[in-house]
Structure 1
Amino acid sequence: MDTFEGIPFEGIPDAAFRFYADLEHNNNREWWLEHKATYDSAVKGPLTLLLAELEPSFGAAKLFRPNRDIRFSLDKSPYKTAQGALASTAEGMGFYIQLSADGLLIGGGCHTHTPAQLTRFRNAVDAPASGEALQAIVDDIEAAGFAVEGDTLKTVPHGFDKDHPRAELLKHKSLTAGVNVGQPGWLATPGAPAEVARRWEELRPLVDWIGRHAAP
């Protein structure tokens, strides 16, 4: 983030979304190199500045690499068609933002797990106090317009009642929530960090619960 230090955030321009719309049809090294200046000025720069303004409240965020890992993929397209970033509270969890041709996605939660984490998560969901607290958090998040997602099992995991009152939560192997806000007018203004912060604050109870009960 040092490259942009001292530069005020003025908004994410429409050119960022056009860049990714064009990339979807021109996903090759030649096109990328020809348009890298647009990536730097319309995507990387503004997102870096936006995240710097959010850092005091949510911690430092890391922009993901734009290159895809194609070593084991049948799809050899070299570049991601979205730019993501994570303000991490612990390994694999925190507050997430993603910019693509579809607009801006704002999310948070835990997207990875270890067997030990998963065991702690399920035990906390099963326990009445912590489990009911998580259910209330998820209900509030859904009421606020977020989609609750994550990797899930088809059935309740072994060792838990299939009619458990929080059966759907027990099926989760990861737990995230997000909302695609599209391309609202505020995104191209200096007020964008406040709008992102408002949504991240709505997700803070989920991130805090996971950090308390299922951290690495």
Structure 2
Amino acid sequence: MNSISKTTINFLKDLKQNNNRDWFANNKSIFESEQKLIKKFYVSLQEKLKEHDEIESLKMFRIYRDVRFSKDKTPYKPHFAGNFVRATNKLRGGYYLRIRPGESFLAGGFWEPNKEDLLRIRKEFEMDTSEIREILNNPTFIKYFGKLEGESLKTAPRGFDKDHPDMDLIKMKQFIVTRSFTDQEVLSPDFLDEINKSFKAMRPYFNYMSEVLTTDLNGVSIID
């Protein structure tokens, strides 16, 4: 399955307009059919990814929402989404793709790094940002992703000089890259290749972050 079907987009549009259990129950067979189609697309993308990266697994997310602690009580997510896990503890970062009418996007990076990883990244930036800035300023990176995204602290993290010249990076709490797509782009026959090229363009960033997160500040490996 090398392309997204228009029926998939139409189903998701209908679900957004009729996000209730009765409608979903009456259209369960359509959902199951579209779910099978989209899973085939993600599997095809996984095979593409394996040509240039080590992928351990594909996880497709459930369409059912957990509404227990949410103000939004709609029971279903009007999108399909999945992520690809990189293999071994030496390869950090992961690939994510969401298909949602008018709001489709891919993403990769580090959404909620644990406190140890976050400190290690900040210490690396405190010491030297020349390599990461070279990656972020690369024309290919800018073409696909624009810039590094994510939430930041309002002030310097504890223990860091507030006047450090690289405080813009040190303050970050998340380190994410994204690319959005229109419905026309999602339905185009080259969408699979475009996603794959985007994920491939993340590799220099992933390679850098993997090196940082698997070594100490002297560059010595901290994993077996």
Does structure 2 conserve the Cα–Cα contact (< 8 Å) formed by 1:104 and 1:183? yes
In the superposition, relative to structure 1, how do residues 47 and 206 fare at CA in structure 2: closer, same or farther (>3 Å)?
A: farther
Determine the C-alpha separation between the residues in 1 that align with 2:30 and 2:145: 31
Q: CA RMSD in A?
A: 2.5
Determine the C-alpha separation between the residues in 1 that align with 2:30 and 2:103: 17
Partner of 1:160: 160
Identical-pair percentage: 26
TM alignment of 1:116-127, pairs within 5 A? 116-127=116-127
Partner of 1:136: 134
May I ask how many residue pairs the two structures share in their alignment? 204
Does structure 2 conserve the Cα–Cα contact (< 8 Å) formed by 1:92 and 1:111? no
Q: Does 1:38 align with 2:30?
A: yes
Q: Report SS of the residue matched to 1:179.
A: strand
Determine the C-alpha separation between the residues in 1 that align with 2:2 and 2:85: 24
What is the CA-CA distance between 1:126 and the residue it aligns to?
1.6
Determine the C-alpha separation between the residues in 2 that align with 1:14 and 1:86: 22
Determine the C-alpha separation between the residues in 2 that align with 1:201 and 1:166: 27
Determine the C-alpha separation between the residues in 2 that align with 1:62 and 1:138: 28
TM alignment of 1:1-216, pairs within 5 A? 9-42=1-34, 44-55=35-46, 56-57=50-51, 58=53, 59=55, 60-89=57-86, 93-128=93-128, 131-140=129-138, 143-147=142-146, 148-184=148-184, 187-189=187-189, 191-214=190-213
In the superposition, relative to structure 1, how do residues 75 and 117 fare at CA in structure 2: closer, same or farther (>3 Å)?
A: same
For structure 2, list consecutive stretches of 5 or more residues without a partner in the other structure: 215-222
The Cα offsets for residues 13-72 of structure 1, whole Å up to 9 and x where unpaired, read as 122222222222211112222223333333x23332222223223423211111111121
Does structure 2 conserve the Cα–Cα contact (< 8 Å) formed by 1:121 and 1:213? yes
What is the CA-CA distance between 1:183 and the residue it aligns to?
2.2
For structure 1, list consecutive stretches of 5 or more residues without a partner in the other structure: 1-8
Aligned partner of 2:133: which letter?
Q
The Cα offsets for residues 104-162 of structure 1, whole Å up to 9 and x where unpaired, read as 3122111122111111111122221xx22122222336621425322221222122222
Compute the TM-score of the two structures, normalised by the length of structure 1: 0.82
Aligned partner of 1:122: which letter?
R
Determine the C-alpha separation between the residues in 2 that align with 1:143 and 1:192: 19
Q: Report SS of the residue matched to 2:137.
A: helix
Does structure 2 conserve the Cα–Cα contact (< 8 Å) formed by 1:149 and 1:177? yes
